[in-house]
Amino acid sequence: MSGATDEFEAVIGLEIHVQLSTETKMFCGCRLSFGDEPNVHTCPICLGHPGVLPVPNRRAIEYGLQIAAALECDVAPRSIFHRKNYFYPDNPKAYQISQFDIPLASNGHLGEVRIHRAHLEEDAAKMIHVGTSGRIQGSDTSLVDFNRAGTPLVEIVTEPDLTSGAQVREWGQLLRATVKQLGVSNVNMEEGSLRCDANVSIRPVGSSGLGTKTEMKNMNSFRYLERGVEAEIERQKQLVASGERVVQETLHFDPSSGELHSLRSKEESHDYRYMPEPDLVPLAPDTAMLDAAAASLPELPAARAERYHSELGIQEGAARLLSVETEWAAFFEDVLGSDESIEPRVAANWVTGEFAGELRRQGEQDPADSRVSPKSLGNLVSMVSANRVSHGSAKSVLERMVADGSDPEAIVREQGLEQISDTGELQRIVDAAIEGNAKVAEQVRGGNEKAIGALVGAVMKETRGRADGGEVTRLLRQSLGL
Amino acid sequence: MIERDQVLHVARLSRLKLSEEELASMQKDMSSILDHVDRLAEIDIEGIEPTSHVVPLENVLRDDVPRPSLDREVSLAQAPDAADGAFRVPSPQAEI
């Protein structure tokens, strides 16, 4: 089966909705909120009463322009709002104010993925489906909460440039980090302030056409989206391999069962009958607005990863890892800043490797919340680099630091972990190990070099890990005449 | 004359159930509206920018400053049905 399915490649495009973290809604002065009592932030505008007039939120436009700048898009000199008509209780106007043929921004890119467009629109109300099963299917009535209705959104649409679930996850995380760095959204997928849909199709390897696509809706993490996309690619390949056709539909991926379900949805008939929104005048960002957006851009994750790699010599993988999460990047830079003798590459390995791992083991996530300060981690890294403590000892020191915030110097002193740098002392221990393990020593002399491991182990045991493994091996080999 | 199926399609998008009589009169009315609008096609609009708004204004924006929202009792009272602080509607999944 894999012989046939390997002849196909996946083509994936993403649509990402980003809720902007303004104070108020897109077209009215109601506050944004999450988790409040239902329907406490509503007014005639966001409830869609007749005769009201929407007025766009200036800050939402500014945030949209910042996203456009970060994605290196062309900003339309004059864009207009449209009504996207559909009938569903989450939008009592029976249309969503969105943008259609002239979006705010287009033709951008983030990393290797091209951005088709980015436009402004408003979020819909939240539906709570009640009834027998609690799920959408089979419910009798629905409750509608308009707190979310009218929340400003930027919808970002990529070109179909992605080819795997893993790439979707990685790129999605980069986009989320980028938007987060701009400070224009909370980008919390579980709370829905960042939502990602994936359009998936397959085609014969090497062809340039596009197959029939399916749309995967609204996964609440990029890991689930990755798994869902992989499952859907596999499903499509199997369909085609067995001579069937992919049907255009909207799918839901259930991460607990790993199954894909077809969704009946309000978009069942894609017939939105767009028309220009007569209540809103065109949006023509002037030079001042564009300059302000450009000037507001901080160093973004993709640029930071590039700088870490090219200027600091950090491997690409670690550079990306450090750059994507701003709190990790900040911690790393503070470690570097704490002691200029620290090699960036070494510091990067400690931060993304041992330190991140130890935090996870102890159930922590954010380095900024850790009891370990960048300065004390820098201190530990310096001690390792200066051969004052072995790598192995340093790991146990770090465990203690994460647990109770102790100073590494103090732990090393208290536990006597300072590496034996006196060659004379180490030589005495090496000699004793050879004497105490005469048989093994004989085997090594006889050509079984692997057996030297037992002698190294004996020395490390005697020194309680305070010796440098490389130095021990060197002394042993020398003493055994190798 | 607009097709009967088109009228049915538009009615379905609006969740309207039309009787045979309504369908016939709707078909007639919609056709005459469309014919009327079609007369605009006779005008030469070569080189004229599409108008999306009749008033020549741009960038009418408001500052991001909160204003008081409605009391929930007031907003819910406008609706035919409410429960648990929310508007209650028939399940949208129900067949029309």
CB pair distance less than 8 Å for A141 and B65? no
The pLDDT-based confidence of A464 (bands split at 50, 70, 90) is confident
Out of A235, A259, A294, pick the residue that ends a domain: A294
| Amino acid, res. A376 | S
Q: Give the pair of three-digit tokens for residue A220.
A: 């609440």
Proportion of chain A above pLDDT 70, given as a percent: 95
Q: Which residues of B touch A149 (CB under 8 A)?
A: none
Q: Are residues A203 and A352 in the same domain?
A: no
Q: What is the pLDDT of residue A346?
A: 93
CB pair distance less than 8 Å for B64 and A22? yes
CB pair distance less than 8 Å for B64 and A88? no
Q: Which residues of A touch B93 (CB under 8 A)?
A: 136-137, 139, 264
Give the tens place of pLDDT for each residue, A287-343: 999 999 999 999 999 999 999 999 999 998 889 889 988 889 999 999 999 988 999
- Per-residue pLDDT at A124 exceeds 50: yes
Q: Which residues of B touch A43 (CB under 8 A)?
A: 67, 69-70, 75
A26 closest CA partner among A109, A117, A116, A93: A93
**How many domains are there within chain A?**
3
Q: Are residues A284 and A324 in the same domain?
A: no
| Order of all β-strands in the sheet with A214-219 | A74-75, A105-110, A113-122, A152-158, A8-19, A194-204, A214-219, A250-254, A259-262
CA dihedral A197, A203, A208, A212 (to 10 degrees): -50
Please tell me whether residue A225 adopts helix, strand or coil conformation.
Answer: helix
Q: In the predicted model, what is the mean pLDDT of residues A188-212?
A: 92
Q: Which residues of B touch A144 (CB under 8 A)?
A: 86-89
Q: Are residues A63 and A182 in the same domain?
A: yes
Q: What is the pLDDT of residue A425?
A: 83
**Residue with the larger pLDDT of the pair B3 and A390:** B3
CB pair distance less than 8 Å for B60 and A55? yes
Of A31, A61, A89, the CB nearest to B92: A89
Q: Are residues A311 and A270 in the same domain?
A: no
Give the tens place of pLDDT for each residue, A18-62: 999 999 999 999 999 999 999 999 999 999 999 999 999 999 999
Judged by a CB distance cut-off of 8 A, whether residue A437 touches chain B is no
**Average pLDDT over chain A, rounded to whole?**
90
Q: Are residues A267 and A322 in the same domain?
A: no
Give the tens place of pLDDT for each residue, A126-168: 998 765 544 445 558 899 999 999 999 999 999 999 999 999 9
Q: What is the pLDDT of residue A366?
A: 87
Out of A244, A278, A294, pick the residue that ends a domain: A294
Q: Are residues A47 and A76 in the same domain?
A: yes
CB pair distance less than 8 Å for A269 and B13? yes
CB pair distance less than 8 Å for B61 and A87? no
Of B64, B69, B84, the CB nearest to A59: B64
Pick the CATH number of B4-41 from 1.10.540, 1.10.20, 1.10.287, 1.10.260: 1.10.20
Out of A294, A322, A345, pick the residue that ends a domain: A294
| Amino acid, res. A458 | A
Q: Are residues A385 and A252 in the same domain?
A: no
CB pair distance less than 8 Å for B53 and A58? no
Tell me the count of A-B CB pairs closer than 8 A: 140
CB pair distance less than 8 Å for A38 and B64? no
User: Do A119 and A14 form a contact (C-beta atoms < 8 A)?
Assistant: no
Find where tokens 């390897």 sit: A205
A447 to each of A70, A256, A472, A478, how far by Cα in Å? 62, 55, 19, 14
Range of A430's domain?
Answer: 423-479
Q: Are residues A329 and A441 in the same domain?
A: no
Cα nearest neighbour of A140 on chain B: B91
Q: Are residues A334 and A281 in the same domain?
A: no
Judged by a CB distance cut-off of 8 A, whether residue B14 touches chain A is yes
Q: Are residues A357 and A448 in the same domain?
A: no
Q: What is the pLDDT of residue A169?
A: 94
CB pair distance less than 8 Å for B53 and A281? yes
**Within a 10 A sphere around the Cβ of A476, how many other Cβ atoms?**
21
Find where tokens 């109300």 sit: A125
The Cα of B44 is separated from the nearest Cα of chain A by a number of Å equal to 21
Give the tens place of pLDDT for each residue, A59-115: 999 999 999 999 999 999 999 999 999 988 999 999 999 999 999 999 999 999 999
Of A30, A142, A284, the CB nearest to B69: A30
Q: What is the pLDDT of residue A265?
A: 52
Judged by a CB distance cut-off of 8 A, whether residue B46 touches chain A is no
CB pair distance less than 8 Å for B93 and A139? yes
Q: What is the pLDDT of residue B23?
A: 95
Residues A377 and A373: their CA atoms lie apart, in Å, by 6
User: Do A293 and A65 form a contact (C-beta atoms < 8 A)?
Assistant: yes
Q: Are residues A368 and A460 in the same domain?
A: no
What is the mean pLDDT for each group of 10 consecutive residues in chain B (96 residues)? Answer: 91 89 95 93 88 85 97 96 94 62
Q: Are residues A194 and A130 in the same domain?
A: yes
A214 closest CA partner among A12, A17, A16: A12
The pLDDT-based confidence of A1 (bands split at 50, 70, 90) is very low
